[in-house]
Amino acid sequence: MIEQTLTSKWFFLFLGLLVGSFLNVIIYRLPRNIDWIFKRSHCPHCQALIPIYCNVPLISFILIRGCCLQCKNKISLRYPLVEFITGVAFFLLSPEYFQSTSHPVIQSLLALSIVSILISHFFIDLEHFLLLDRLNMILLGLIAVEFLFFSHQSITWHVVGGLTGFLVPFLISWIYLKLKNRIGLGGGDIKILGILGLSLGAQKIMETLFLSSTLGILFGLPYLLWNQNKKSLLARPIPFGPAIILTYALQKYTSLNMGNFFGF
Ligand SMILES: [Zn+2]
């Protein structure tokens, strides 16, 4: 009975909201090099300590109407959004999703650890144009455990996927640099494509590369136009990481075969 409750998707939804609250701390502090374990949360505007009772995921944000209790400045919508997305991801990828596998609980926890890193990457890249190496190292470790212990494919299949994911964008970026004398694709993007290639295999990582470039351009251009003045538009970077992460999640966890959809 207890085991059933602890592995139900509703329990995982609750767990996901709590994890989302923790990811908010990581997303804010990691790129700013702030201690993320021992330091209590502060309002980013007035530095007032955030009371413990204001740390309840989603509910606190609604109760305080998205404003700091001290200075009344608006608190970013990112906070409830990260909690919501993490909650939904935990609900969808609870052990029930992995029921047909040999170790549903372990595989679910592994997948959710990977997704948590990807959610952090997504929002950090959106704000800072950075895919942090520290997160990439953890991601690499988790994906290695996943394919070494729980994959039906051979190790060679995964390694070829990783090499394709790394070398193809590296080559494109190198050619672009030679031709234009400018960096086209960031180092972080190339590294994450290599790591995700280990998980997806060669064909799907190529599809991911193509689809995420399309997505990046589709969403990136209006984002740039809206965010800053229009001077030297093409010289400004587009955060490509979110598009890669979104495409990876769809390729990996939905039955929607995006490759077929685009006629690969
Ligand atoms: Zn404040």
Cα of 114 vs centre of ligand 1, distance in Å, is: 33
Same domain? 127 vs 187 = no
Q: Are residues 168 and 137 in the same domain?
A: no
Residue type, 157: W
Regarding whether 112 and 160 lie in a shared domain, the answer is: no
Measured in angstroms, how far is the CA atom of residue 167 from the centroid of ligand 1? Answer: 46
Task: Judge if 73 and 46 occupy the same domain.
Answer: yes
**How far away, in angstroms, is 14 Cα from ligand 1 center?**
27
Token pair listed for 175: 């050619």
Instruction: Kindly give the distance from the C-alpha atom of residue 79 to the centroid of ligand 1, in angstroms, as a whole number.
Output: 15
What is the rounded distance in angstroms from the CA atom of residue 107 to the CA atom of residue 114?
11
Q: How confident is the model at residue 236 (pLDDT cuts 50, 70, 90)?
A: low
Domain region containing 48: 1-141
Measure 49 CA to ligand 1 centroid, in angstroms: 8
Q: What would the pLDDT profile of 126-175 be if each residue is shown by its tens digit?
A: 999 899 999 999 999 999 999 999 999 999 999 999 999 999 999 998 99
16 plus 87 within the same structural domain: yes
Q: Same structural domain for residues 176 and 58?
A: no
Say if residue 190 is in the same domain as residue 137: no
Q: Where does a domain end: 114, 141, 168?
A: 141
Of 87, 117, 141, the residue at which a domain comes to its end is 141
Dist CA 243 CA 219 (whole Å): 9
Instruction: Give me ligand 1 centre to Cα 220, in Å.
Output: 31
Mean pLDDT of 70-94: 93
Of 141, 172, 203, the residue that ends a domain is: 141
In percent, the amount of the chain with pLDDT more than 90 equals: 57
Q: What does the pLDDT read at residue 85?
A: 97
Domain co-membership, 3 together with 96: yes
**Same-domain status, 158 and 46:** no
Query: Can you tell me the distance from the alpha carbon of 20 to that of 85, in angstroms, rounded to the nearest whole number?
Result: 8
Helices (DSSP H) in 181-240: which residue ranges?
187-200, 202-227
Residues 11 and 113 in one domain: yes
> Ligand 1: distance of its center to the CA of 129 in Å?
26
Instruction: Determine the distance separating the centroid of ligand 1 and the alpha carbon of 48, expressed in angstroms.
Output: 6
* Beta strands, E only, 27-182: none
Percent of the chain whose pLDDT exceeds 70? 91
Q: 67 φ, ψ to 5°?
A: -125, 150
Alpha-carbon distances, residue 56 vs 41, 49, 52 (angstroms): 13, 15, 8
Report yes or no on 203 lying in a domain.
Answer: yes
Residue 84 CA, ligand 1 centroid: distance in Å: 23
- Domain assignment present for residue 146? The answer is no
Alpha-carbon gap, residue 61 to 63, rounded angstroms:
6
Asked whether residue 70 is domain-assigned, the answer is yes
pLDDT band at 254 (very low <50, low <70, confident <90, very high): confident
Answer whether residue 147 is part of any domain: no
- Which of 24-38, 39-53, 107-121 is predicted with the least confidence, judged by mean pLDDT? 39-53
15-29, 122-136, 200-214, 216-230: the lowest-pLDDT one: 216-230
pLDDT digits (tens, 9 = 90+) for 36-74: 777 777 888 888 887 777 778 888 888 888 888 888 888
Q: Give, as residue ranges, everything with CB less than 5 Å from ion ligand 1.
A: 43, 45-46, 48, 68, 70-71
Specify if 185 maps to a domain.
Answer: yes
Spatial neighbors of 34 by CB under 8 A, at least 6 apart, are 28
26, 137: one domain: yes
Indicate the DSSP class of residue 66: T
Residue 41 CA, distance from chain mean position: 22
Q: What spacing in Å lies between the alpha carbon of 174 and ligand 1's midpoint?
A: 46
